[in-house]
């Protein structure tokens, strides 16, 4: 009888091993309660799973992008902008985090150790693609190819593909860099040169002092339909010609974008799809201006040859600006200017020493001091970003078109 049971015992031992405790610490196994799972890392939080080099943060984690609701503990150097960029994959969604955490009175003042709630329906877990060892591509090699699409003697850095023992080469993809992305173009603002019909914000289903991303606002129904978009903005002072003093228009500071979703309670209801700063009920709605995105290298613009003018305003009414800031010039589409055009900036040279015994002051030549590139245009004005400068740029500085090299 004993000899007959030996094969049975052997089979049971083969299919049902006795090491049951290892499941709690095996790679990729998610633990619950007070347990943690560690493989190649350290245990984090009260309910975490760490496998390989992938770290999961917070009280509750998710795998491969599954929506979740979690928390995050602020560390030194954090900002809501950075947290939103990493956790929500969109830096401009930081108002969602601020709104979720009412104890944060000033979004610019957050402190290490604070635990904040993250909006529901987002995931911070990275998406992991398993690549088999034999599928890992070989490092780039240098090949010299000739043919209808390759100049003779041109050196290509390529990724080899093996087909029936032969190596064929594929040129690396060429990525174009935009002069400015959509958010930069919109946030730059513009000059209302007159004749723009604006609308008022009538209220919100949830009354509050400030509004941000995904908040809802009411708009009057006249001429508005679902799908329409509006720029949310506010006037920020008059823009005057530095030479004559004549009014060119009014500066518009762009705060965000509102998209109409449908009708509700006798109004059209819209959702804030972009928010660059706080929005108030007193702000106004401007017709949507579709951003024109151009890519480097920008070709020469013959229509702009010989175009010159002045810097007439600085964004946010600043006294002076430098690299990456926004300026406004008194030349626009009517003058042949288009997005991507570059202009040299000159500061006035002043006059020769007035203490010299001369009857009339002698003007000194203007000094080249910077380069700006247009990001958006109106009829007679344009917004441009400062590409480079040798010093602060101010209103009244001259500009003239510069052909790209």
DSSP string, 177-233: PBSS-HHHHHHT-EEE-S----EE--B-SS--S-B-TT-EEEE--TT--TT-EEEEE
Output DSSP code: residue 117: E
Output DSSP code: residue 100: H
Left if phi > 0, otherwise alpha if psi is -120 to 50, otherwise beta: which for 89? left
Distances (CA, A) of 384 to 23, 64, 274, 323, 340: 60, 41, 21, 11, 9
Tell me how far apart the alpha carbons of residues 74 and 48 are, in angstroms, rounded to a whole number. 17
- pLDDT of 273 above 60: yes
pTM score, whole prediction: 0.59
Render pLDDT for 184-228 as a digit per residue (tens, 0 to 9).
999 999 999 998 999 999 999 999 999 998 999 999 999 999 999
What residue ranges do the domains of the chain occupy?
A: 41-124, 182-287, 302-402
Per-residue confidence (pLDDT) for residue 184, from 0 to 100: 92
**Which of 95-109, 127-141, 148-162, 250-264 has the lowest average pLDDT?**
148-162
Q: Please, are residues 17 and 3 in contact by the beta-carbon 8 Å criterion?
A: no
Higher pLDDT, 19 or 271: 271
Which of the following CATH numbers is that of domain 41-124: 2.60.40.790, 3.40.50.970, 3.10.350.10, 3.20.20.70?
Answer: 3.10.350.10
Render pLDDT for 74-93 as a digit per residue (tens, 0 to 9).
888 888 888 888 888 788 88
Three-class DSSP category at 268: strand
Both tokens assigned to 292: 């024109």
Q: Is 169 exposed, middle or buried (0-12, 13-18, 19+ CB in 10 A)?
A: middle
Both tokens assigned to 157: 């850095």
Per-residue confidence (pLDDT) for residue 168, from 0 to 100: 54
Instruction: Given CATH 2.40.10.410, say whether it is the number of domain 302-402.
Output: yes
**∠ CA 96-97-100, rounded to 5°:** 85
Task: Quickly count: other Cβ atoms within 10 Å of residue 152's Cβ.
Answer: 8
Per-residue confidence (pLDDT) for residue 61, from 0 to 100: 36
Cβ-based neighbours of 289, under 8 Å, separated by 6 or more: 186, 190, 231, 376
Per-residue confidence (pLDDT) for residue 240, from 0 to 100: 93
Per-residue confidence (pLDDT) for residue 300, from 0 to 100: 95
Per-residue confidence (pLDDT) for residue 334, from 0 to 100: 96
Per-residue confidence (pLDDT) for residue 400, from 0 to 100: 95
Per-residue confidence (pLDDT) for residue 248, from 0 to 100: 95
302-402 has the same fold as 182-287: yes
- pLDDT of 58 above 90: no
* CATH numeric code, 182-287: 2.40.10
Per-residue confidence (pLDDT) for residue 95, from 0 to 100: 83
Render pLDDT for 112-126 as a digit per residue (tens, 0 to 9).
888 888 876 444 444
Higher pLDDT, 175 or 310: 310
DSSP string, 138-165: PPPEEEE--BTTB-TT-EEEE--EEETT
- pLDDT of 147 above 70: no
In the predicted model, what is the mean pLDDT of the chain?
Answer: 76
**Which of 5-9, 206-210, 237-241, 370-374 has the lowest average pLDDT?**
5-9
DSSP string, 340-400: T-EEEEEE---BS-TTSS-SS--BPPPEEEEEEEEEEE-SS-EEEEEEEESS-B-TT-EEE
Tell me how far apart the alpha carbons of residues 291 and 348 are, in angstroms, rounded to a whole number. 33
Per-residue confidence (pLDDT) for residue 255, from 0 to 100: 96
- Give the best-scoring range by mean pLDDT among 34-43, 63-72, 235-244: 235-244
Tell me how far apart the alpha carbons of residues 304 and 301 are, in angstroms, rounded to a whole number. 6
Where residue 8 falls among pLDDT bands split at 50, 70, 90? Answer: low
């Amino acid at each position: 009888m004993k000899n007959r049971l030996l094969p049975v015992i052997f089979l049971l031992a083969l299919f049902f091993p006795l090491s049951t405790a290892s499941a709690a610490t095996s790679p990729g196994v998610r633990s619950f309660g007070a347990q943690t799972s560690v493989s190649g890392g350290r245990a984090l939080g009260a309910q975490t799973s760490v496998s390989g080099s992938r770290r999961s943060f917070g009280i509750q984690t998710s795998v491969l992008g599954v929506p979740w609701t979690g928390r995050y503990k602020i560390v030194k150097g954090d900002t809501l902008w950075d947290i939103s960029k990493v956790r929500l994959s969109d830096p401009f969604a930081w108002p969602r985090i601020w709104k979720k955490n009412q104890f944060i009175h000033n979004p610019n003042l957050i402190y290490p150790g604070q635990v904040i709630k993250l909006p529901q329906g987002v995931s911070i877990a990275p998406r992991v693609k398993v690549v088999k060892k034999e599928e890992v591509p070989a490092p780039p090699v240098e090949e010299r190819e000739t043919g209808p699409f390759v100049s003779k003697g041109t050196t290509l850095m390529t990724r080899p593909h093996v087909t029936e023992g032969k190596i064929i080469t594929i040129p690396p993809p060429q990525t174009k860099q935009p002069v400015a992305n959509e958010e930069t173009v919109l946030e730059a603002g513009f000059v209302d040169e007159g004749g723009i019909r604006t609308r008022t914000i009538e209220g919100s289903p949830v009354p509050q002092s400030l509004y941000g991303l995904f908040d809802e606002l009411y708009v009057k129904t006249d001429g508005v339909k679902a799908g329409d978009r509006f720029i949310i903005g506010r006037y920020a002072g008059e823009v005057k010609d530095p030479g004559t003093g004549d009014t060119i228009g009014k500066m518009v500071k762009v705060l965000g974008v509102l998209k109409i979703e449908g009708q509700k309670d006798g109004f059209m209801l819209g959702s804030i799809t972009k928010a660059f700063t706080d929005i108030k009920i007193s702000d106004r709605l401007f017709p949507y201006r579709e951003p024109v995105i151009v890519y480097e290298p920008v070709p020469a613009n013959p229509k702009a040859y010989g175009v010159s003018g002045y810097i007439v305003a600085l964004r946010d009414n600043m006294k002076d600006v430098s690299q990456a800031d926004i300026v406004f010039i008194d030349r626009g589409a009517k003058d042949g200017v288009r997005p991507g055009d570059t202009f040299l900036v000159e500061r006035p040279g002043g006059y020769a020493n007035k203490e010299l015994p001369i009857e009339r002051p002698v003007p000194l030549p203007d000094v080249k001091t910077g380069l700006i590139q247009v990001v958006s245009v109106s009829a007679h004005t344009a917004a441009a970003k400062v590409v480079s400068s040798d010093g602060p740029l101010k209103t009244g500085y001259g500009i003239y078109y510069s052909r790209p090299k």
